[in-house]
Amino acid sequence: MNIPRIPVGKGFEVLIQWLTDHLSVVFDGIDQVVLSILGGLKFALLLPHPLLLIALFTALAWWMAQRGVALFTGCGMLLIYNMGYWTATMETLSLVLAAVLIALLVGIPLGICTAKSDRAERVIRPMLDFMQTLPAFVYLIPAVLFFKLGPVPGVIATLIFSLPPVVRLTGLGIRQVPPEIREAAVSFGSSPRQLLLKAELPMAMPTIMAGVNQTIMLALSMVVISGMIGAGGLGNEVLKGITQLRIDVGFEAGISIVILAIFLDRVTQQLGKPRRRKNSTGRE
């Protein structure tokens, strides 16, 4: 039994090292873009008085979901404010939003590609499987190597972790469009672009929105974990609770995360359902 050990870990390390050495310009660029998105979001969320924002979120919950969700949102957020975790919660929210924004910008076009081309599907699907099954902590390491400590590697790690659902469900949604409807669109002379924009995407929308919801929820869970690499927000508080054995801090931060999670989930779940309240003919 003299088979030499295959240096998988070493190989990966060399690869990462090479990437950091040679592609630092790219990473710096990404760093800047993510930072500015993050900065803008954080600024927007922390600028208004917390009570104003709480009222706004409550109204949003009322409009998108039902009264119960709105009531929960109002009370829960007031509790967060009262406990003194408002700033941390908004930081977390801005991390989530930044990661999700980028995930959608990348993920929806990728999903369209997988729906349109079987070859793209064959290439992208195993990558998505890999991204989803690799333990979340593992890609914190290269993220830190590329982007140092701080919020940017947090966003990047979150992005990678939360990307798969929106890609998968966009692809699925488009593939599920009945062939006859596709034929109908084409038979009236739709160009490939018109087919996509006027028939396939609108019909796939509920499925895509289910993907968006999943992506948001995954992003929230990952953002908390990336508190370990100094992403800030509620993750930091949880980490403080663990490392300093402060049960009170850990529990309060945990509660805040749960409240934020329920709010985000209930509100974005409604995106997928057809909104019959609106006048269906009004839109162009």
Output 9 or 274, the one with its CB closest to other proteins: 274
Q: Work out whether 194 is an interface residue with other proteins (CB under 8 A).
A: yes
Q: Work out whether 129 is an interface residue with other proteins (CB under 8 A).
A: no
Which of 248, 250, 247 shows the shortest CA–CA distance to 239? 250
- Residue 190's CB: how many other CB atoms inside 10 A? 17
Work out which of 53, 108, 166, 203 binds other proteins, going by CB under 8 A.
203
Q: Work out whether 205 is an interface residue with other proteins (CB under 8 A).
A: yes
Which H helix or E strand runs over 251?
helix 247-272
Q: Work out whether 271 is an interface residue with other proteins (CB under 8 A).
A: no
| Binding-site size, other proteins (CB under 8 A) | 23
Output 190 or 270, the one with its CB closest to other proteins: 190
DSSP string of 124-184, one letter each residue = HHHHHHHHHHS-GGGGHHHHHHHH-SSHHHHHHHHHHHHHHHHHHHHHHHHHTS-HHHHHH
Q: Work out whether 277 is an interface residue with other proteins (CB under 8 A).
A: no
Alpha-carbon distance 273 to 252, whole Å? 33
Q: What angle do CA 62, 67, 73 make, to 5 degrees?
A: 70
Q: Work out whether 185 is an interface residue with other proteins (CB under 8 A).
A: yes
Q: Work out whether 180 is an interface residue with other proteins (CB under 8 A).
A: yes
Which of 216, 220, 212 shows the shortest CA–CA distance to 257? 220
User: Segment near other proteins (CB under 8 A), from 11-19, 42-50, 76-84, 194-202?
Assistant: 194-202
Alpha-carbon distance 165 to 210, whole Å? 9
Which of 85, 23, 67, 99 shows the shortest CA–CA distance to 234? 85
Q: Work out whether 118 is an interface residue with other proteins (CB under 8 A).
A: no
Binding pattern to other proteins, positions 6-45, x when CB under 8 A? ----------------------------------------
Work out which of 15, 56, 123, 181 binds other proteins, going by CB under 8 A.
181
DSSP string of 64-85, one letter each residue = HS-HHHHHHHHHHHHHHHHHT-
Alpha-carbon distance 223 to 99, whole Å? 9
With beta carbons less than 8 A apart as the criterion, state whether 57 and 73 touch: yes
Binding pattern to other proteins, positions 218-257, x when CB under 8 A? ----------------------------------------
Alpha-carbon distance 89 to 87, whole Å? 5
Q: Which residue has the tokens 């406990």?
A: 83
Work out which of 172, 186, 242, 261 binds other proteins, going by CB under 8 A.
186
CB of 251 to other proteins, least distance (A): 45
Q: Work out whether 209 is an interface residue with other proteins (CB under 8 A).
A: no
With beta carbons less than 8 A apart as the criterion, state whether 188 and 194 touch: no
Output 5 or 276, the one with its CB closest to other proteins: 276
CB of 167 to other proteins, least distance (A): 22
CB of 212 to other proteins, least distance (A): 17
Output 194 or 221, the one with its CB closest to other proteins: 194
Where on the chain is the footprint of other proteins (CB under 8 A)? 178, 180-181, 183-191, 194, 198-199, 202-203, 205, 274, 279-281, 284
